[in-house]
């Protein structure tokens, strides 16, 4: 047994300190970035916000809208090959096909020659700390050498380095911070998300690779904190849920509309896709009803506006410069609870 005494932080534990700025208008802030990836040698230009590969978030409908704003979508792993083939060519460059170790690479093989039109592959598991997962990344890299491989999830720099050395271009960082994830409650395992982002970004950048901050964002300010902490990309689940494009179950109650939103390891997800939970495991996700939000277009404008404003507060002319201009200030729990409300 070992206890680490250094304080670690979630997004809610800090604020970004304002600094003198020469920029007075959000219009002056450039949110687009250009990335070249370590193993694939491919480049991508866009706004590095990512829709999560969750059932009612990472849909083709969401991708069709988000791609227009140069935002990425990690499609959920339950799309059929026929559905993937019908995606228009202009959108394919801004989507990732998702698979897991259990699902294998069969969907990619079944796409045949059409796989060349997709640049991103997302290998997604709840626990990225297994040798089996690293071996699968190595297999995917050998089979699809020219693809940008996203892999996760992990939350420590040592395993971030291991996934990169196994062939990942981008590592998904986050164990348990998601709004419908109960891993921390059910298992006691996790790591405060902002500290995980800071530490894993440092490890990835040292190897010429990148990270996605996956989970824990509840508002545009959290997205800015993720980028300020060094994340190259920020992945959103709950913030992109509840929209028409996600095709979630609509629930009407007392004259109001809600959308069912659930974690990928929830009872609902397991019953829907796997026929229920095996008797040797427990659910690590929950199901909630969130307010119906209409079109996703309005939400993305709100998020991008908030991040642009964050940049103007600290004097960052571009999103790329935000982390260099960021100083975090630790806030007390009492103040933080008031702030969140």
Task: Say how far apart CA 156 and CA 195 lie, in whole Å.
Answer: 9
**DSSP H helices in the chain:** 60-66, 81-85, 89-92, 106-110, 131-143, 157-166, 183-187, 193-206, 220-228, 267-274, 296-314, 319-325, 333-340
Phi, psi of 153 (to 5 degrees): -120, 145
Bridge-partner residues for 124, per DSSP? 152
Taking the model in full, what pTM does it have?
A: 0.92
Tokens of 214: 């996956």
> pLDDT category, 184, cuts 50, 70, 90?
confident
Residue 155 a catalytic site member: no
> pLDDT category, 178, cuts 50, 70, 90?
confident
Phi, psi of 88 (to 5 degrees): -65, 150
Query: For residue range 15-62, what is the model confidence (pLDDT) as tens digits?
Result: 999 998 887 778 889 999 999 999 998 999 999 999 999 999 999 999
Q: What pLDDT score does 341 carry?
A: 36
Query: For residue range 54-89, what is the model confidence (pLDDT) as tens digits?
Result: 999 999 999 999 999 999 999 999 999 999 999 998
> pLDDT category, 186, cuts 50, 70, 90?
confident
List, in order, residues 6 or more apart from 181 with CB less than 8 Å away.
215, 263, 265, 284, 285, 286
Mean pLDDT, rounded, for 127-152: 97
- Residue entry with tokens 């409300």: 341
Largest CA distance in the chain: 60
Mean pLDDT, rounded, for 90-107: 95
Q: What pLDDT score does 282 carry?
A: 58
What is the β-pairing status of strands 43-51 and 71-74? parallel
Q: What pLDDT score does 322 carry?
A: 97
Report helix, strand and coil shares of the chain as percent, to nearest 5: 40, 20, 40
Tokens of 256: 């109001």
Residue 284 has pLDDT above 80, yes or no: no
Residue 280 has pLDDT above 60, yes or no: no
> pLDDT category, 176, cuts 50, 70, 90?
confident
- Residue entry with tokens 């020659």: 113
Task: Say how far apart CA 243 and CA 117 lie, in whole Å.
Answer: 27
Phi-psi region of 34 (alpha: psi -120 to 50; beta: other; left: phi over 0): beta
Catalytic-role residue among 74, 155, 181, 325: 181
């Amino acid at each position: 047994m070992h206890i680490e005494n250094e304080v670690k932080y979630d997004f809610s534990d800090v604020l970004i300190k304002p600094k003198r700025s020469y920029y007075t208008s959000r219009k002056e802030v450039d949110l687009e970035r250009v990335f070249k990836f370590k193993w694939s040698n491919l480049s991508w230009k866009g706004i590095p916000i990512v829709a999560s590969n969750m059932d009612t978030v990472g849909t083709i409908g969401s991708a069709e809208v988000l791609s227009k704003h140069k935002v990425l979508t990690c499609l959920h792993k339950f799309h059929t090959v026929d559905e993937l083939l019908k995606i228009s060519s202009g959108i394919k460059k801004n989507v990732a096909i998702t698979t897991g170790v259990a699902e294998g690479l069969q969907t990619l093989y079944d796409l045949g020659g059409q796989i060349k039109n997709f640049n991103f592959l997302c290998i997604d598991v709840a626990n990225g700390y297994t040798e089996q997962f690293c071996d699968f990344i190595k297999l995917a890299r050998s089979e699809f050498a020219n693809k940008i491989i996203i892999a996760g999830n992990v939350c420590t720099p040592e395993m971030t380095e291991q996934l990169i050395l196994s062939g990942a271009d981008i590592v998904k960082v986050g164990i348990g911070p998601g709004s419908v994830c109960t891993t921390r409650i059910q298992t006691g395992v996790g790591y405060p998300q902002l500290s995980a982002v800071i530490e894993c970004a440092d490890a990835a950048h040292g190897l010429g690779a990148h990270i996605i901050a996956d989970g824990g964002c509840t508002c545009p300010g959290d997205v800015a904190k993720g980028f300020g902490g060094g994340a190259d990309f920020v992945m959103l689940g709950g913030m992109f849920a509840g929209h028409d494009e996600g095709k979630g179950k609509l629930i009407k109650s007392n004259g109001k509309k809600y959308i069912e939103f659930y974690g990928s390891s929830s009872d609902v997800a397991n019953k829907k896709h796997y026929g229920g939970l095996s008797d040797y495991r427990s659910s690590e996700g929950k199901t909630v009803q969130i307010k119906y939000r209409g079109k996703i277009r309005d939400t993305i404008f709100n998020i991008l506006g908030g991040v642009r404003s964050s940049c103007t507060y600290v004097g960052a002319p571009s999103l790329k410069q935000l982390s260099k201009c960021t100083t975090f200030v630790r806030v007390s729990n009492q103040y933080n609870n008031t702030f969140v409300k």
